Chain A
Amino acid sequence: MSETEAPARPLLELKQVTKTFGGLTVADHLDLEVNEGEIVSLIGPNGAGKTTAFNLITGLYRPDSGEIRFEGRDLVGLPPHKITQLGIARTFQTLRLFLNMTVKENVMAAAYGHTRSTVFESIFRLPRARREEREIAALAEEKLAFFGQRLAGYRHQQQAYNLSYANRRRLEIARAMGTNPKLLLLDEPAAGMNPNETLELTELIGRLRTEGGYTVLVIEHDMHVVEGISDRVVALDHGVKIAEGSYDEVATNELVIEAYLGLEGAASA
């Protein structure tokens, strides 16, 4: 991945994206750019429209107006699985693992989009099906190995519901990696983790870029994590982008402080 030269156009580009539910505007002329090799954090108080932005990018919602481009290609109107096949994978804030499948199967299932064997080939175990099975298994092991001891060894064969909360968050990331994405959207990956685990996760997100070669867009509430990983921070409130820049710039921005603490808090801060 090219970290040396800035690409001509951003990897992901949202232009004037608007989405309303009834009278509620959850994304209001939203502009967002993510360049290749970047780690961008999306912050904002609850209900600011961060997860909505993810849902718009991954095709779960269709924007009312505006443009969403990935590698220059228009994503609006594509079904979610097509968008994932193009190279955008996400995790879910509310954890939506395939609970009654094993840890390894969770990752292997995500490889559906970049494998091609037909039902016929699978039933008769024809060469391509066999080769792809081997590749998927190797891929799953490789992605799980990213998490070191946490998801290693016997855990591969455990049902996903056996995992602890933090491990489920890790498996969500591993499963998203299983789709071979270029861009990873992580929705509050540190939620529910203890300080040690949060530290470990901060380090992991860095490694996702350096070792995995992924570009990362992450929603996070934990400011230590945001500070530790972000090249750039984007703050949202009520579906509007209120600030963008380095962590220090955004963290001291008055609008951001106001959004988090309310007007009085902002005055006393």
Chain B
Amino acid sequence: MQTGGDIPEVPGRPDERDRRRVGVDEWVASHDERLADRAGFGKLGRWIDARVPPWARLLIFAAFAATLPLWMSRGDLFVYGIFTLIYILLGLGLNVVVGYAGLLDLGYVALFGFGAYFYALLDSPKYGLHWPSAVSIPIVVASTALLGLILGVPSRRLLGDYLAIVTLFFGQAFVVFVNAANPRNLTGGPNGLADIDPNDLFGYELVTRKQQYWFILGVVLLVLIGLYFLSESRTGRAWRALREDPLAAEAMSMPVNRLKLLAFAFGAAIAGLTGCLFAAVLTAVTSGNFALPILITIYAVVILGGIGSLTGVVIGAIVINVSFQFLAPENSQTNARILFYGAVILLLALGVKPLWRLALVLAGAVVFGLVAHAIASGISESWTNGVVVEGGRLAHVISEWVIIPTGHQRFANAAYLALIVLVLAVTRIRGWLQTALLIPTVYLTAVVWETSFVEEPAVARWILFGALLVFLMTVRPQGLLGTPRVEIV
């Protein structure tokens, strides 16, 4: 353990990360991490990484997830429970290709679709085949893996953007194929395939939502355990190594091309498996289930959670699916409203730094609103007698605070434009004027929300969702639980 007498002792690990240690490698290298820590999420992620061992995380997740059916209604269990699990599985599969091996695969959703359609063909009245899951699922998984292997062939020569375009083409071709260009109506065209059998556990059919949920949860847990072991094995390390530097990986005895294909096949196998579960739960598949928006959502799951992190994928899937379903058009607008005002306050709390300034802005906005409301109603009744969309305790407060006119069609548009101008101004201006400008900005945000968006939750949820992602990615580019990636120091 020693080399000679004249080697100086290495200094111990810096105990306080924030103590200035200019010139010390660790202190300099962790500069970005410290910046991220100030935003709040970073500390949480690191704390989880350092303090909660993987098996404990799994146990917490399993314990919580297993109790879900006991207190959730049947419909809620479907959209919140089962869909989240499906997203977790899809995220885990994509994470192998994108997170571990670093291959940008935009055709992933087609593999999911292939699995679902193939299962549907094997287990539906379409051809009168009703194979037991113990037979059909392995067949589907193996064929999807093979298809993934074929999809991965271009990755031997193409990287990054080029690979992304080729695989994206594959994904789009799949949608076109199932919709139109298929022989003998194999996939049922735009109508898709219906009356798909539920999964069965060695002959015992899983027909109730609770059974299906627990079955899929079991699959998720097994996949999580398997992937954890795999990521800590020679193959997992080789994947990460080739993500970091393919040339060095090749020079360090790793067969890079074979490993890339393996990653593609492995991700595809998980996608195929998910397809089987998805088709069985939904009992029908159409091409719309496997189009671009789903791909984007899966990517959002992986990116939000933190690329390369299993815990991150699980948390990303929960956050995205729950907030998405929460804002579904058939839900009451109260949900969207709570989420919206919550997001605004969170944004202000993170962005407006000294606490007194934050208090000033919030209090200012309340007063500003009350004054504006009083003036508006003083001018004419028609300026404030608009109907607040849907109930909830919040609605009553809002009707006394936000200007919602009837008639005055152009008001909403004018407010929208004014808001954009104000937001731009706030980002450019510093100091006292910024604080002052924030007050009408916050108020105008509420006005625009109440007059334009709250009535159209389908639009509003995409906007909310996009804003959430943009904000999070700006504050924490590596995702909630991802480790910051360093290219060159």
Contact = CB atoms under 8 A, between A and B. Distances in A.
A80 B257 CA distance: 12
A44 B398 CA distance: 79
Interface in A51-105: 58, 60, 79-81, 84-85, 89-90, 92, 96-101, 105
Given A60-B251, A90-B251, A148-B2, A117 B489 contact: no
Contact of B254 (A112, A147, A150): A112
B123 to A, nearest CB: 26
A65 B359 CA distance: 77
Interface string B217-244: 0000000001101101111111011001
B330 interface: no
Contacts of B244: 97-101
7 closest Cβ pairs, A-B complex: A113-B253, A122-B233, A96-B248, A98-B244, A84-B253, A161-B486, A148-B3
A200 to B, nearest CB: 6
B10 interface: yes
Given A161-B489, A179-B253, A204-B3, A150 B29 contact: no
Given A98-B241, A112-B238, A122-B229, 9 more contacts: A81-B256, A99-B489, A101-B237, A109-B249, A109-B254, A125-B229, A148-B2, A179-B253, A203-B3
Interface string B465-489: 0000000000000000001011101
A269 interface: no
A101 B241 contact: yes
B30 interface: yes
B252 interface: yes
Interface in A120-161: 122-125, 129, 132-133, 136, 145, 147-150, 152-155, 158-159, 161
Contacts of A158: 26
User: B interface, how many residues as a size bin?
Assistant: 35 or more
Interface of B: 1-4, 6-7, 9-10, 12-13, 25-26, 29-30, 226-227, 229-230, 232-238, 240-241, 244-245, 247-256, 262, 266, 483, 485-487, 489
A175 interface: yes
Contacts of B487: 99
A185 B487 CA distance: 25
Given A80-B251, A99-B486, A161-B29, A150 B234 contact: no
A179 B266 CA distance: 26
Interface residues of A, number: 61
Contact of A79 (B240, B250, B486): B250
A155 to B, nearest CB: 8
B252 A100 contact: no
Given A89-B252, A97-B248, A101-B244, A148 B25 contact: no
Given A105-B237, A119-B235, A113 B247 contact: no
A149 B7 contact: yes
B7 to A, nearest CB: 6
Nearest to B245: A96
Contacts of A199: 6
A189 B1 CA distance: 21
B250 A123 contact: no
A159 B30 CA distance: 10
A123 B254 contact: no
Given A100-B485, A110-B253, A136 B234 contact: yes
Contacts of B234: 108-109, 111-112, 115, 117, 122, 132-133, 136
26 contacts: A58-B251, A80-B250, A81-B254, A85-B253, A89-B253, A99-B244, A101-B241, A101-B244, A109-B249, A109-B252, A112-B253, A112-B254, A113-B254, A115-B234, A119-B230, A119-B262, A122-B229, A123-B226, A124-B226, A133-B232, A148-B2, A159-B483, A161-B29, A162-B30, A163-B25, A164-B25
Given A108-B237, A112-B238, A200 B4 contact: yes
A67 B471 CA distance: 58
Nearest to A161: B486
Contacts of B245: 96-99
Contacts of A60: 247, 251
A19 to B, nearest CB: 18
Contacts of A89: 251-253
A268 interface: no
B483 A100 contact: yes
A125 B485 CA distance: 29
A196 interface: yes
A15 interface: no
Nearest to B258: A81
Contacts of B7: 148-150, 200
A97 B247 CA distance: 10
Nearest to B226: A123
